[in-house]
A and B are shown apart, each in its own frame.
Chain A
Amino acid sequence: MLLILILLPLLVSAGGWYLGKRSPRGYYDLALLCTILEFILSVSLCFFRAGDVALPGILDLGIHLTLDGFRQVYIVVISFMWMMTMLLTRDYMGIRHGTHTHTQRYFFFTLLTLSATMGVFLSADLFTTLVFFEVMSFASFPWVIQEETDGAIRAANTYLAIAVIGGLAALMGLFLLYHELGTLEIGLLYERAAACGKKNLLYTAGGCILLGFGAKAGMFPVHIWLPKAHPVAPAPASALLSGVLTKSGIFGVLVLSCQLFRDDPVWGMLILSLGTVTMFLGAVLALFSNNLKKTLACSSMSQIGFILTGIGTMGLLGRENALAGAGVLLHMVNHSLFKLVLFMCAGVVFMNTEALELNRIRGFGRKKPLLHACFLLGAAGIGGIPGLSGYISKTLLHEGIVEAAAEYGLILHAAEWIFLLSGGLTLAYMTKLYVCLFIEKGAFEEKKRYMELPSCVALLCSALLIPVCGLFPHAVMDRIAAAGSGFLAAEPLKEAVSYFSLENLKSALISVLAGAFVYLVIVRRWMYQKNRYLDRWPAEMDLEDRIYRPVLLTVLPEVFGRIAALFGENRVTAKLAYGLYRTGEILGHALSDMTDGLVWVLQRTVFRPDKRNYEERSSHTYVYQIGMSIDRYREKHGRSGPEELSFARLFERIRMSLEHATHNLTDTMSFALLMLCIAICAVMVYIFLIRN
């Protein structure tokens, strides 16, 4: 049953390839049908028990899939998002109007990514996770490069580099872990790790794996691909990159934090600090950005930071981590949902205006109530306004931090304030986008239709979930949280949390106030001058351009170059290197050189070639004499022919060719004999010398 979830999109993507060449429309319909089927299938799994799937021997270590509450929640989220974005794709890629390019490629890789993502979230051991994770990384690469602009190619290069490095880091960590624990079954990791004495090795392995999965999640300091790749991908793909693919990274981090390093305060603190930095940095970057999708991408990074902070507090809290655990899962689901809505809105904006820069899309949303409502729900949701689902998960995360602060004091208080401030920043940049798109006046004439019916359905369905979850937290959210508690190793919530208590509303209010302050002071005063949004993106502080690219492309090649120069590519060291190489070569074939040398010496001394004239010499050989006598005999009997028929010449010619052949033969033979002699000498040497 679980295998079908993975195989269905895989088979459809492969089967549709040839269809896609002739009829992109047909491929689209097929892909849409496939995602709908996938959604129905994953929802129906809530009601049937699906057993584990184990395929031993496949890929050596075997593939193992399982389904529990957490995975159930997430496969529904995934298939829902794929279905919704697929609905929008019809409009966005211009399937209807035939303005599409490379749709075949796009659908093929979208379905392939769906298959791999399902695999990641269904995996029961880390090996399976890694396999599908890598497939997912590479299958999603064409999304980033889809538009084939220079920016897209650059972003795609970064994406690929991070995917490869992350994948290798994870591979390194996993084989260390496998070597140490003897298993990669997620369910067994905790017990085995507890029994394992080599804590440092486990931390090394964990660090490598964290680098791999954290890179995909967009965790600081390996977040660099995220603000670049999400904006250049087509909007439906951005929604998936942001909403799902980052979560697959989180999935890996969860396995590490909740299974391998469960209740480990050191690890918890590491994740917490990384999470806090990611959360704050992402929010600040989002505020500075001047581009709709870039803001959303940075916002994703920031929200991932919120989730990581939650995971960190879980580790710090140990057994009493019910609130934080629920918060983590709910914020993951919420963020997927928000980003789905927001990126789809961005997609609608882009397909009408062909622009994402704020000054160029200003006022686009005016008099478009549906788009307006959906964007507002998404923005307010992510900002944590009470009544919407984002408020619930943020409240839980906040409660978790407050709980931990009681135990750990100062650091956690700082984290709490950063948390609230980041919440405020979230509100500020969302307000910035909202005001720009829907309040300010722009140069857009009224169009009759700005999107097709399927897109409307997709937007509306996704957006309406936000208030539904937010208004009935106990009916919806608590159940989701309860489903995930097993995987997260979190206690189930003991009593219903009073989300709308005064205490919780107060922290939301702090965030709102901070947001309002930031918006009014920083955005309106500093970023908005002379009626334009200024580009305050700190381009010169780009981590990739400042550190990673220089290190990878300049420092390392420089080091490698120096090493390579040692082998004779640098003029100064060329002579030395050539000498070294010759020494190696001579060592390698000393014997053959020696025989060559011997032959040479012999040629110069004993077998010196005769310098005398050929004609002169030839007249003295036996054959020549015999030939001459025959000639003379013929002459005597008066049967002499012309000069060319002289037997002496004929014999001489035969002798010449024979000599030539034997000369070559003796050369070869002598060479072989010499080789043999030297070998025998060598044998003699060790028999007589070494033996004693």
Chain B
Amino acid sequence: MSAKWLIAAILFPVAAGALVPVFGIKKRMTVRLYTGAATVLTSVFVWVLIFAASEEGCTLIEFTHNFTFLLRFDGLGRFFAVIIATLWPLTVLYGFEYLKDDPRQHVFFAFFLLSYGATLGVAMSGDLFTLYCFYELLTLSTAPLVMHTDTDAAVRAARTYFTVSIGGAAVALLPVLYLTTGAAGRYSETVTRIFYVLGFFGFGVKAAVFPLHRWLPKASVAPTPVTALLHAVAVVKSGVFAIIRLTWWCFGTAPLAGTFAQYIPMVFVLLTIFYGSAKAVRETHWKRRLAYSTVSNLSYILFGVMLMTEQGLRAGLLHMLFHAEIKILAFFAAGAVLHVTGREYIQDLDGLGKRMPVTCACFTIAALALTGIPPFCGFISKWNLLSAGAEAGTPAGYIGAGMIILSALLTAVYMFTTVRRMYFPGAREDDTALQKVHEAGALMWVPMVLLAAACLLTGLFSGRILELIGKAVSGLVPWM
């Protein structure tokens, strides 16, 4: 298939989202049918493209000879698109149930479709400038989702999200211009490295690198489909994706490895790994705890990337995939409990295991997988990250491996204290309050069960997945 079809894949959900107010869709059933059909069609189309699209680029607009709007669907983009195209329909399904009684759900789903298109754009963009544009579009299309509930906290969260994202993007613009204007060749390597570090922290805002992470826990006030899909997968991983592109495709690892351009980001990444987990342990709000856990886990991926070895990149990408399914599952479970019981603090979860068996079982699987207990998938990616760290042979690699182990210990603490409360509340059990609690609706638990099965199966067959990832990143064509 010609690369021109990529435009269609991006424009279709965007147009579908934009047309919601035009058609005046408001009834619950119509919204469901419309959104569901649009999402599934897009996903099917993307899957077709993943298998059939050509590797050729497709230039849409040429501003100057090196300032173009270019789409290209290469191995890494396909890998990211696989994650998105699979998880988006599941989340929409879950969202139908979650926003069942929301009078403004048509607005919500319109923006949800819009951000689908933007994320696909990030995956399919073929040069840094295009990537940057879609990256900004993603910020704009997801901010209304954050403030959907329209409470004070939500508005504050959206403000933080906006300022930090736009500020980050402004910093990230510098290396974009530096590279696209073709200035890179003319300066000393030190200048190039400085611009790389700027780019890392610019895109690092979305990847929630330590001093810039604050928007993520705050944004957990958003409706759960948003926190689950956007703030554990699409948005944050776009940040990571952009950093991968910047490191491996644009600057190339050769001038960066072994210099301050590697070490400065690495220090912050390692700090984030520890900081996120430590904060998660201290946090008692369930969704915020998971958000802090995301902060930590995103830096696992970045750790792999910043090792600047191919093994590290592969391990990082593997964790990107696995963390996506695990964290979305954990958020779904938390959201299901919130939806059914309205409980959002860990200490209110006592004895829930009996009342919501499927949800709690799914969360337990997420906990096992996130901690890295075999045979679930988190174990494999952790193993790969550790070996990549040791293989790199640098002090940073070993320290990072130690950090991951330490963080895994903390992960066990913050995940299993939750699980234990669900199943073994001890003497404090208050059964009367739980009498009316029932299992979440089928639209909620079906995606959860599918994801839980995925956590197991992708772990078991990870050999094949690693092979595919290896194929996706081998022989990468530099962008600049």
Contact = CB atoms under 8 A, between A and B. Distances in A.
Contact of B187 (A134, A164, A567, A690): A690
A145 interface: yes
B466 A175 contact: no
Given A59-B380, A145-B424, A585 B211 contact: yes
Interface stretch (B27-35, B67-75, B366-374): B366-374
Dominant secondary structure of chain B at its interface with chain A? helix
Given A62-B463, A690-B187, A590 B383 contact: no
A589 B211 contact: no
Interface in B155-182: 163-164, 166-168, 170-171, 173-174, 177-178, 181
Given A59-B460, A584-B211, A171 B383 contact: yes
Interface residues of A, number: 51
A686 B183 contact: yes
A541 interface: no
B191 interface: yes
Interface string A90-132: 0000000000000000000000000000000000000000110
A148 B426 contact: yes
Contacts of A165: 409
B426 A150 contact: yes
* Residue among B167, B186, B205, B382 having the largest count of chain A Cβ atoms under 10 Å: B167
Interface in A386-434: none
Contact of A59 (B402, B424, B459): B459
Dominant secondary structure of chain A at its interface with chain B? helix
Interface string A651-690: 0000000000000000000000001000100110011001
Contacts of B115: none
A444 interface: no
A128 B427 CA distance: 39
A168 B405 CA distance: 7
A136 B110 CA distance: 47
A592 B170 contact: yes
Contact of B408 (A58, A168, A585): A168
B463 A60 contact: yes
Contact of B173 (A61, A156, A679): A679
Given A135-B373, A135-B374, A150-B427, A57 B461 contact: yes
B462 A60 contact: yes
Interface in B254-298: 275, 278-279, 281-282
A168 B424 CA distance: 24
Interface residues of B, number: 58
* Residue among A56, A150, A589, A690 having the largest count of chain B Cβ atoms under 10 Å: A589
A606 B186 CA distance: 40
A58 B460 CA distance: 5
A58 B461 contact: yes
B386 A175 contact: yes
A538 interface: no
Contacts of B412: 160, 164, 168
A153 B167 contact: no
A167 interface: yes
A564 B276 CA distance: 11
B153 to A, nearest CB: 19
Given A148-B424, A589-B170, A589-B171, A138 B375 contact: no
A105 to B, nearest CB: 9
B202 to A, nearest CB: 8
Contact of A57 (B168, B173, B201, B464): B464
A7 interface: no
A589 B173 CA distance: 11
A589 B426 contact: no
Contacts of B183: 686-687, 691
B212 interface: yes
Contacts of A497: none
Interface string A40-83: 00000000000000001111111000000000000000000000
A134 B373 contact: yes
A449 interface: no
Contacts of B253: none
A156 B426 CA distance: 12
Interface in B343-372: 368, 371-372
B390 interface: yes
A172 B405 contact: yes
Given A131-B374, A138-B373, A588-B212, A683 B380 contact: no
Contact of A168 (B279, B374, B409, B462): B409
B6 interface: no
B86 interface: no
A178 B171 CA distance: 41
Contacts of A148: 424, 426
Contacts of B401: 172, 175
A176 interface: yes
Given A57-B463, A57-B464, A165-B409, A591 B167 contact: yes
B309 interface: no
A60 B167 contact: no
Interface in B403-457: 405, 408-409, 412, 416, 420, 424, 426-427
B386 A581 contact: no
A179 interface: yes
A137 to B, nearest CB: 8
B217 to A, nearest CB: 13
B55 interface: no
B387 A134 contact: no
Contacts of B420: 153, 156-157, 160
B189 interface: no
Interface in B134-166: 163-164, 166
Nearest to B426: A153
A156 B461 CA distance: 32
Given A135-B374, A150-B427, A60 B187 contact: no
Interface in B187-219: 187, 191, 201, 205, 211-212
A564 B279 contact: yes
B337 to A, nearest CB: 21
B412 to A, nearest CB: 4
Nearest to B416: A160
A592 B374 contact: no
A370 interface: no
A520 interface: no
A1 interface: no
Contacts of A171: 372, 382-383, 386, 405
A471 to B, nearest CB: 44
B167 A592 contact: yes
Contacts of A160: 412, 416, 420
B119 interface: no
A134 B372 CA distance: 10
Interface string A571-599: 00000000001001101111111000000
Nearest to B173: A679
Nearest to B202: A588
A590 B205 CA distance: 13
A447 B459 CA distance: 54
B56 interface: no
B384 interface: yes
A600 interface: no
B102 interface: no
Contacts of B177: 679, 682-683
A585 B174 CA distance: 17
Contact of B387 (A157, A175, A587): A175
A23 B282 CA distance: 42
Given A57-B464, A135-B373, A160-B412, 5 more contacts: A59-B380, A60-B466, A165-B409, A588-B171, A590-B171
23 contacts: A57-B463, A59-B379, A59-B459, A59-B462, A60-B380, A60-B383, A60-B463, A61-B383, A131-B374, A131-B379, A150-B427, A168-B405, A172-B401, A175-B387, A178-B387, A179-B390, A179-B391, A560-B278, A563-B278, A567-B275, A588-B211, A591-B171, A687-B183
* Top-7 shortest CB links A-B: A589-B167, A57-B463, A584-B211, A591-B170, A131-B374, A179-B390, A164-B412
